[in-house]
Amino acid sequence: MSTPLSARPSARTGRGPRSVRTAGRTGRRLVVTAAVTLTAALALAAPAAAHAEVEADKPQALAENVTLRFVSEAESDSAGFTALRIVLPRGITPADVSLGAAPRGWKLTATEDGYTVAGPALKAGVDAEHEIRVRQLPSAKEIAFKTVETYSDGEVSRWIEVPSGGEEPEQPAPVLKLKAAAPGARPVGATPSPSPTATVGADAGAAAAPTRSVAAAAPKTSAAADEAAADEGGGISTGALVGVIVVALLVLGGGALWVLRRRAVSSDAG
């Protein structure tokens, strides 16, 4: 009596499904590995959490005698701030600025396009805060203050990128949004530059009362800081780098999964 074909054992029984299951598990492992790798790459490529900010007691276009407060967050565990270079927006000249509160021993020096406030190094991990008094804010919806931070170990951190096209930059400059000008507000005349050039200091606990204005024709900051401020681009951006990593991982993961499935199918066919 012959055994029905359906009851006969097969040398390949279970091999096909098992191979497919194995390929599926391997593919899932590859996807998980790719996801972990991508997460690590994103973490490494992400911009620093530290940043610079600015706020005003009267954030309104054409407002006069406005106090601006700047905060630069420390991003070094081993070095402290020694200097901040601020590039003033159009409509504010160095002669319109005077120093209020600042870290103890720090002084303000005017530059051609803004000012530098510098002094003894702060402790590592301590934020740098200072205030300036501005004669009048310009007529604008928002103004940016490009900031270059220098640490005691010579490291330079640049927050000089201005948002454009709705995209958030990696190293954004401090931006102050302004309300519409008050009815009847008008631009005041240009501030005459005093002579000789004045350098103004302030203690850490000093009030934000106006001090002497500084001249526009003051010594420039260090060449390294100037070069750092001017170098707004250069190199591949974080967004582009992340895009390349994502595409590479997808290609590798998809290719490996395709190869495993092809091998499983070929094994079944054999």
CA distance 111 to 52: 20
Residue 62: is it exposed, middle or buried by C-beta count within 10 angstroms (0-12/13-18/19+)? Answer: buried
- What the block records as the tokens of 22 is 């194995």
Q: What is the pLDDT of residues 124-144, one digit of tens each?
A: 999 999 999 999 999 999 999
The model carries a pTM of 0.59
Q: What is the pLDDT of residues 201-254, one digit of tens each?
A: 444 333 333 333 333 333 344 444 444 444 444 344 445 444 545 555 555 555
CA distance 66 to 216: 19
Confirm if 159 and 73 have CB atoms less than 8 A apart: no
| Confidence class for position 118, pLDDT limits 50, 70, 90 | very high
Confirm if 101 and 202 have CB atoms less than 8 A apart: yes
* CA 73 to the chain's CA centroid: 11
Confirm if 131 and 67 have CB atoms less than 8 A apart: yes
Q: Phi, psi at residue 30, to the nearest 5°? A: -65, -40
Torsion over CA: 211, 217, 223, 225 (sign)? positive
**CB half-sphere exposure, 127, CA atoms < 13 A:** 11
CA distance 53 to 95: 22
Mean pLDDT score of the chain: 73
CA distance 180 to 123: 40
DSSP code string of 206-220: ----------SS---
CA distance 38 to 182: 51
Confirm if 87 and 160 have CB atoms less than 8 A apart: yes
